[in-house]
Amino acid sequence: MQTRTIIVAVVLAVQASAALGEVKYTITDLGILPGGSESFAYGINNSGQIVGYASVSNAHAFLYSSGVMTDLSAALGALGNSLAYDINDSGQIVGYASVSNAHAFLYSSGVMTDLGTFGGSQSIAYAINNSGQIVGQANTPSDDAHAFLYNGGVMSDLGNLPGFGVRSSATDINDSGQIVGWSYSVGDDNYHAFLFSGSVMTDLSALGGSHGGWASAINNSGQVVGYNTDATGGMHAFLYSGGMMSNLENIIGLQSYAEDINSTGQIVGWAYGGSGPSAFLYSGGNIINLNSLIDPASGWTLLRANAIDDNGQIVGSGVNSWGQTVAFLLTPVPEPATLSLLALGGLAVLRRRSGQVLRRRERLAQN
C-alpha cells in the first residue's frame, strides 16, 4: 500500500509539473501607508525588496521588505513629495525628495545623501547599479534637464545626442556602466532613445525607421527596452539586442511601453487600449497579458508592470478587489524546482521501499 501511494504521488507530481508548464503568478497586495489611499511600485532587487511611493497627503517614498511597507519620507527629510525609483542588491535606494526643491537622493544604511544639481533647481535619480553608480537628470542654471552619472560622489553631465541639445535624461544603468535614456530637442519635437556606452552616445531611435522614442531599461547583457513612436505618434514597445531593433507586437489596444528587462531577457510593461492600460510580460518570444496569468477570482486588474527581477518577480500597480489602486508583487508559481524535487524525493523513497521488499523476499527464500 505504501509503495502504491508513493507511485501515485510521483505520478501526480509529474503530471502537475507538466500541467503547470505555463508560468502563472500569485499576487501580493503591498497595501498602503496609514492614512493613505493608493500606492505604486517602481523597483525590485533580487532579494525581493521593493520601492515606490504611496499617497498620503502627498507622495511618500516607501520600502517594502519582509512583508512590511516602511514610509521613508521622514528619513529623507521630505517636506513635500518623495518617490523611490530603484533599489540595488545591497539595498541602496534612489529617487527624489522635495525639501525646498525636488532633489535626487541616495538612501543607504539609513543615511540620505542629496545628490545636488548642475546649478538648477531640481534633479531626479532613476536607477542605481550594484556598484553604486547612479543615473538620472539634473537641471542646469537655465533649468534645462541634462542626463547625469553620479559616481564616487561626483555628478557628471552626459550631454545630449548630436542635434538634441536641449534636454536629456538617463533612465537606467547596468553593472557594466552602460546607460540608457532619452534626449529631446524643441526644434525636432521628439524624444530620441539613446545608449551611452564607452563614452559614446548612440541614437537608438534612428534605427528601424522610428520617428522617436524613449529607452527605459538595460540588462547586464546590453539588451535595451523602451518605446519607439510611429508617424502618427503612437508608441510601440521595443527590444534592442545584438545591434538589432525589434518592435514587440501589441497584445491589446493601440500603444505599448516596455518598462524593464531582467538578465534572462524577460520584459515587462504595459499596453493601452480603449479600456485602459494592461500589464504585459514578454518571455520566450511571446507577449502575454499578465491578467491572464493570475487567478481570475483574485478580483485584480493589473494595469502597469514596472520592474522584474532575475527571479521573475514582477512589481507594478493595479486595481484590487476593493477598487483601490495599489502596488502589487507577482511571484511565479510553482517554484521551478519544487515539483521536480518532490518527484525525485518520491522516487528515492520508492527505491528504498523496493530495496527493502527485495531484501525481505531474499531472507524468506533463505529460510
Model-level pTM? 0.85
Residues in the chain: 367
Query: What are the boundaries of each domain within the chain?
Result: 21-209+295-333
What does the pLDDT look like over 122-145, one tens digit per residue?
A: 999 999 999 999 999 999 999 899
329, 314 contact by CB (below 8 A): yes
Give the CATH number of domain 21-209+295-333. Answer: 2.120.10
What does the pLDDT look like over 203-242, one tens digit per residue?
A: 998 776 677 889 999 999 999 999 998 877 788 999 999 9
Buried b (16+ CB within 10 A) or exposed e, 209-221: ebebbbbbbbbee
Q: Which candidate, 258, 265, 342, 263, places its Cα nearest to that of 304?
A: 258
Per-residue pLDDT of the chain (367 residues; tens, 9 = 90+): 333 333 333 333 333 333 333 559 999 999 999 999 999 999 999 999 999 999 999 999 999 999 999 999 999 999 999 999 999 999 999 999 998 899 999 999 999 999 999 999 999 999 999 999 999 999 999 989 999 999 999 999 999 887 766 799 999 999 999 999 999 876 666 889 999 999 999 999 877 667 788 999 999 999 999 999 887 778 899 999 999 999 886 555 568 999 999 999 999 999 987 778 999 999 988 889 999 999 999 999 999 999 999 999 999 999 999 999 999 999 999 755 444 444 445 444 434 444 444 444 444 344 4
Rounded-to-integer distance, Cα 245 and Cα 197, Å:
17
244, 256 contact by CB (below 8 A): no
Q: From edge to edge, which strands make up the β-sheet containing 224-229?
A: 213-218, 224-229, 235-241, 244-247
